[in-house]
Amino acid sequence: MTTSKENLDETPFQTAGPFLHIGCMPNAIKIEKLYQNDLGETPFKNKNESELITIEGSVFDGNGFALDDVMLETWQCDENGEFREESGFARFIPNNLTKKFILKTVKPGSFKGFDGKIHSPYISLSISSRGLNMTLNTRIYFEGDELKNDPLLSIIKNCNENSLIAKKISKHSYLFDIFLQGEEETIFLDI
Amino acid sequence: MSVKSLIRRNYNKQPELDFPDYKSSIFRAPKNKKISFPSSDSEILGPIFNKNIIGELDNNLTLNFSKNKKSPLGHKIIVYGTVSDQFSNPIEGALIEIWQANSAGKYLHDKDKNSAPIDPNFAGCGRCLTTSRGYYEFLTIQPGPYPYPNRGIEWRPMHIHFSIFGKSFGQRLITQMYFEGDPLLKHCPMVNSIADEKAKKSLIGALDTSRSNTQNLLAYKFNIVLRGIKQTYFENRREGL
């Protein structure tokens, strides 16, 4: 076995602050002349409505308030379990009235990883906002899928692993709420 | 065979999530320990952004929102540097998005309640992809410091927000660049949420006057380091040997 030693430290994070939309989603706040589209508006292009699932939810703080100044980013493989660098990324914010976010995407497939293991379908999710000195990372798995042999889920024991599993509402729609604190605090990952 | 993994993040050189001096963290920072696990494909791989999304003026904040080529107020600066990984390999094609206040310390954002004026010729928004040597450059305006509600009214030091995508989703970084010599730096709870002095210093752009004669500009150098990816090789052994 060989390894080499890194010589630089990773640059530290700082909070994205309340005005992250200016840099990351200017069209969403009506700064419309700069970029043609906001990045990650659709994770997969040229898909029919019938091929898509909807994941809906809110991000709750320790007071139980649903937040509208957070930015969510997702990254996933396609329905065949293939990661393609030109697609699979989405960026979105909760609606400022309903405080709910909605992600429309294809349901990812399971895949055989670099590690040789079979991974259950999931979407990687990151959360950045005011009050978070670092971006948080978690995953969205899906209720109804085969989950017990997933390499990550199988190492999570005796804690709130259900927080990583989106509840199935209907054939094509799921609910995934995120709790930053409290009894139901979501599991966050050191990715 | 070989296995790829991201170098484990060193949390001693990162900000504390739960840092009550920064009031907004009190009800937002998760309390439980994060779960560590071996990197999988979704962390090693990541979205890559195409050159064709980048417009000609996207890295020129002095012109990308100006009306009739009018300059925004304030003095022009260049912010430049490299994006590399922890092994000093330059990262080509990294997407850098920046946002900042105008020279009066005001953001072009409905939620900015600061009474300073907006600048009709400045949005404070820019982006670019790094070159084959990992180089990036923005032409912009010196952002002003500004007051904000924290423990009473406090002042943010001058800063520019940076969002960076490297090649891996696990390299994703959101941070802020500060300016050498800013007297507000030592009072800022967001800066002070990083305990390690060297790590804190790495966020401060260094003044570079070498361009001040030729281009009439002050420049600030800010190098960015994303996590490295380690490849671990194992000898192949046939079973039974």
CATH number (2.40.40.20, 3.20.20.70, 3.40.920.10, 2.60.130.10) of B2-233 reads 2.60.130.10
Inspect the interface and report whether the beta carbons of B99 and A23 lie closer than 8 Å: yes
Amino acid at B132: S
The CATH number linked to A115 is: 2.60.130.10
B185 at interface of A, judged by CB pairs closer than 8 A:
no
What value of ipTM does the predicted structure carry? 0.96
Is A140 inside any structural domain?
yes
- Tell me which residue in B15, B123, B163 faces A31 most closely, judged by beta carbons: B123
Three-state DSSP at B211 gives helix
Q: Is B75 a catalytic residue?
A: no
Among B37, B5, B32, smallest CA distance to A155 is for B37
Q: Is A191 in contact with B170 (CB distance < 8 Å)?
A: yes
pLDDT mean across residues, chain B: 94
B169 at interface of A, judged by CB pairs closer than 8 A:
yes
As a whole number of angstroms, the distance between CA B22 and CA B186 comes to 14
Is A57 inside any structural domain?
yes
pLDDT exceeds cutoff 90 at A131:
yes
| CB–CB contacts below 8 A, A to B | 263
Q: Which of A139-153, B111-125, B150-164, B222-236 has the lowest mean pLDDT?
A: B222-236
Q: Which of A113-122, B47-56, B227-236 has the lowest mean pLDDT?
A: B227-236
Q: What pLDDT is stored for residue A178 in this prediction? A: 98
- What part of B 123-142 touches A (C-beta under 8 Å)? 123-127
Q: Is A190 in contact with B35 (CB distance < 8 Å)?
A: yes
A156 CB neighbours in chain B (<8 A) are 35
Q: Is A124 in contact with A76 (CB distance < 8 Å)?
A: yes
Inspect the interface and report whether the beta carbons of B161 and A62 lie closer than 8 Å: no
Please provide the DSSP assignment of chain A as one string: -B-----SPPPPP----TTTHHHH-GGGGT--SS-SS-TTS-SSSS--GGG-EEEEE-EE-TTSPBPSSEEEEEE---TTS---TTSSEEEE---TTT--EEEEEPPPPPEE-TTSPEEPPEEEEEEEETT-SS-EEEEEEETTS--TT-TTGGG--SS-GGGGEEEEEETTEEE--EESSSTT----EE-
Among A25, A94, A28, A102, smallest CA distance to A65 is for A94
Chain B CA closest to residue A135: B174
B109 at interface of A, judged by CB pairs closer than 8 A:
yes
Query: What does the block give as tokens for B18?
Result: 């739960």
Q: Which of B22, B127, B159, B227 is catalytic?
A: B159
As a whole number of angstroms, the distance between CA B74 and CA B218 comes to 12
As a whole number of angstroms, the distance between CA A185 and CA A162 comes to 10
pLDDT mean across residues, chain A: 95
CB atoms < 10 A from the CB of A110, how many? Answer: 17
As a whole number of angstroms, the distance between CA A138 and CA A187 comes to 7
| Tens digits of residue pLDDT in B21-41 | 999 999 999 999 999 999 999
Per the structure, the complete domain to which residue A168 belongs is given by: 21-179
- What part of A 90-109 touches B (C-beta under 8 Å)? none
Is A49 inside any structural domain?
yes
The CA-to-CA distance between both ends of chain B, in Å, stands at: 17
User: How many domains in chain A?
Assistant: 1
Instruction: Domain ranges for chain B, please list them.
Output: 2-233
CA distances from A54 to A59, A103, A104, A142, A150 (A): 16, 6, 5, 12, 23
Inspect the interface and report whether the beta carbons of B17 and A191 lie closer than 8 Å: no
- Tell me which residue in A12, A22, A122 faces B109 most closely, judged by beta carbons: A22
Is A9 inside any structural domain?
no
To test the contact with chain A by mutation, choose from B42, B140, B197, B229 the residue with the greatest count of A C-beta atoms within 10 A, namely: B42
Q: What pLDDT is stored for residue B213 in this prediction? A: 76
A119 at interface of B, judged by CB pairs closer than 8 A:
yes
| Tens digits of residue pLDDT in A30-48 | 998 899 999 999 999 999 9
